[in-house]
Chain A
Amino acid sequence: MDTVALAILALGAMSLVLGAVAIRRDRPLCWQFALPAPLPATGEGRFETVLDYRPETGQAHAPAILPRDGGLSVVWFEGSAEAQPDVDIRGVDLIRNGDGWQVSDPAPRLTRAALGRALEPRQLVVTLGNTVAHEAMPGRFFATVVSVGGWAMAAIADVTMSPAGPVTARKLDLSPILNRSFLVKSPMLAYADGSHALPAYFEMGPTFGALVRFDAKGRVRDRRWMRSRRAKVIQPMIVPLDARRALAFLRDFDRSGTLWLCRSADGGQSWSAPEPTSRPNPSAPVAALALGDGRILMAANDDATAPDALILSISGDEGASWREIHRLSGPGALRYPMLRRVGDAIALVHSTGGKRGIAAHIMSASWLAAR
């Protein structure tokens, strides 16, 4: 036997050992959703606007809710215009103060330069986009990062924050195409074992929604997709119905004029082909939240005659029908909603004035129960 053959056999033996190590330490993913407890509908019914921020110039868009002690932070991207090389992440803290909310002044939270230095390996960051809280790791969030090109060349960075700014960051390994074209918009999804999954989407020409799973170290361990041949579906908003079943509402990038929907019956391992719903949608993302009592709360631009209005609706039949409970309008288009529980209340954030401002509202469970 020649030297090359012996060397290859030795490599094969080494591979067997490496494979055994990897298989032995791999932990199977849990595919059972964690369901939220019902909100206690006690106290006064209130819907209050706690933030109405409008920068003097430029755009502020795509707000996200980050949990924090005593309240929440709202962060968004802001600059001369979307995807420009002067966009950074800014934000405010909303702290519960008796019956009201104390709001800090808007301030930079994540700059391109600081993120570039924190990324491992260090690299250029040209612009920033949507952010989402890392529910499994307090103090961290996911940011949409563009180093080269536009949104189609974006990647998702997992950023660890300190009060002074980003400490470390790394891009999620999601694509073999120079690790490009994955973005975030919707909040993470909880599983019964305490792990979380990240809804994401791919938009390099072809589009699809994805559900990203992580290992114990926070590295990508799996991804499952929501793929359509009939629409360019992006920005999946996933709502669990029980331990195994979930709905994913999807925006159609192609402007079919309707909201799309796909379903999972196996904890998110597979998703049905997305179908158009009867709900109008001006190619805008929606926010949805399981209320824990079988109802789903949704914030969406689903009035075809008033596509700029943001409408809160409730479904009691797993999304088959919806009842409008509240309407927010103007100035300009209200877009990119996000909903999240904050203690015994629900926070709603969205952009205002066609990407020219940020609003945040807090609604109590009693207010919802009365509708």
Chain B
Amino acid sequence: MRAAVEWAGLAVVLGWAGFALAGLWAGPLGASAAGAAVAALVLARRGGLVVSGAMALLSPVGVMLPALALRHMAAAWGLPVAPFATAELLIFLAAYGLFLASAMGLVPVDLYRLGYAPVPVAAMVLAVCGYGLWSGALFLPLVAVAGQALWVAGLGSSNWFDHVLHAMLVPVVVVALIARAG
């Protein structure tokens, strides 16, 4: 079952990559068709070098990357999606950088290990819900609780942070910030 969840996540993320590339030339319909084709190829060619290499690189895929991919595609189709504020992205980048540094032993506190323990995880998810309530945005609470549900069900990583964060968020956020600056 863990594998099914991971493959679904990878298919969405790589399908989104196909959608984004095709979107440079085609409209939402053509881009979506390209994205769906890529996602189908991912699921069909799981044993192939490229796809199994992508899984090796990105696993555990988690919830956040596929959720962002779906969110971006929904926005392209004209659905109402509230963008993250620039300040939110900057604060996230700084906090996530600190988090990764702590996981590498560069600061004296190991924040990552909090993600194995039920009480800190429950507190963090509720804090994200509180932030969502304050800011009026559903996306982050949705990701946090979906990640908690998968974590409790034992589907995927035994660390909650792996469900709701991903190292690839760093380039994604940096590109988003650069695009805004331009």
Main secondary structure of the interface of B (DSSP, over half): helix
Flag if A178 contacts B103 (CB, 8 Å).
no
Whether the Cβ atoms of B60 and A11 lie closer than 8 Å is no
Residues of A94-138 whose CB lies within 8 A of B: 116-117, 120-125
Is residue A320 contacting chain B, with contact meaning CB distance below 8 A? no
Whether the Cβ atoms of A171 and B59 lie closer than 8 Å is yes
- A36-44, A60-68, A200-208 - interface stretch: A200-208
CB within 8 Å of B: which A191-219 residues = 202, 204-208, 215, 217, 219
Interface string of B99-113 (1 = CB under 8 A from A): 110011110101011
Q: Which of A1-57 contact B (CB under 8 A)?
A: 2, 4-5, 7-9, 11-12, 14-16, 18-23, 26
Would you give 6 A-B contacts (Cβ < 8 Å), ordered by A?
A: A11-B141, A12-B133, A26-B117, A121-B10, A124-B53, A147-B56
B57 touches A202 (CB 8 A): no
Give bound CA distance, A347 to B47, whole Å: 40
Q: Give chain A's interface secondary structure class.
A: mixed
A306 in the interface, Cβ–Cβ < 8 Å?
A: no
Query: In the complex, what distance in Å separates the CA atom of A140 from the CA atom of B96?
Result: 35
CB distance from B13 to the nearest CB of A (A): 13
Number of chain A residues close to chain B: CB under 8 A: 52
Given contacts A11-B141, A122-B46, contact A206 B106 (CB under 8 A): yes
- Which residue of chain A has the shortest Cβ distance to B102 in the bound complex? A176
Query: Assuming A8-B133, A26-B118, A177-B100, is B56 touching A18 (CB within 8 A)?
Result: no
Instruction: Select the stretch in B17-25, B84-92, B124-132 that faces chain A.
Output: B124-132
Give the A-B pair count, Cβ closer than 8 A.
154
Q: A227 on the interface (CB 8 Å rule)?
A: yes
Interface residues of A (CB under 8 A from B): 2, 4-5, 7-9, 11-12, 14-16, 18-23, 26, 116-117, 120-125, 147-148, 170-171, 173, 175-179, 202, 204-208, 215, 217, 219-225, 227
Given contacts A15-B122, A148-B53, A178-B167, contact A206 B104 (CB under 8 A): yes
Tell me the minimal C-beta distance from B110 to chain A in angstroms.
6
Measured CA separation A175–B108 after assembly (Å): 16
Q: Given A18-B152, A176-B100, A221-B158, A8 and B57 touching (CB < 8 A)? A: no
| CB-contact partner of B113 in A4, A178, A222, A227, under 8 A | A222
Other-chain residue from B108, B137, B149 in contact with A18 (beta carbon distance below 8 A) = B149
Q: Which of B1-9, B26-34, B68-76, B174-182 contacts A (4 or more CB under 8 A)?
A: B1-9
Q: Given A8-B138, A176-B100, A222–B116 Cβ distance below 8 Å?
A: yes
Q: Which residues of B contact A117 (CB under 8 A)?
A: 47
Separation in Å of the B39 CB from the closest CB of chain A? 15
Contact of B59 among A16, A123, A204, A219 (CB under 8 A): A123
Could you tell me if A175 and B112 are in contact, using CB atoms closer than 8 angstroms?
A: yes
Contacts of A11 in B (CB 8 A): 129, 132, 141-142, 144-145
Instruction: Output the least CB separation between B55 and chain A (Å).
Output: 4
Judge whether A208 and B105 touch: CB under 8 Å: yes
On whether the beta carbons of B112 and A18 are closer than 8 Å, the reply is no
Output the nearest chain B residue to A217 by Cβ-Cβ distance.
Answer: B154
User: How many Å from the CB of A333 to the closest CB on chain B?
Assistant: 29
**Which 6 A-B pairs have CB atoms at the shortest separation, nearest pair first?**
A19-B122, A147-B56, A22-B118, A219-B158, A123-B56, A121-B3
- The contact of B132 among A8, A19, A170, by CB within 8 Å, is A8
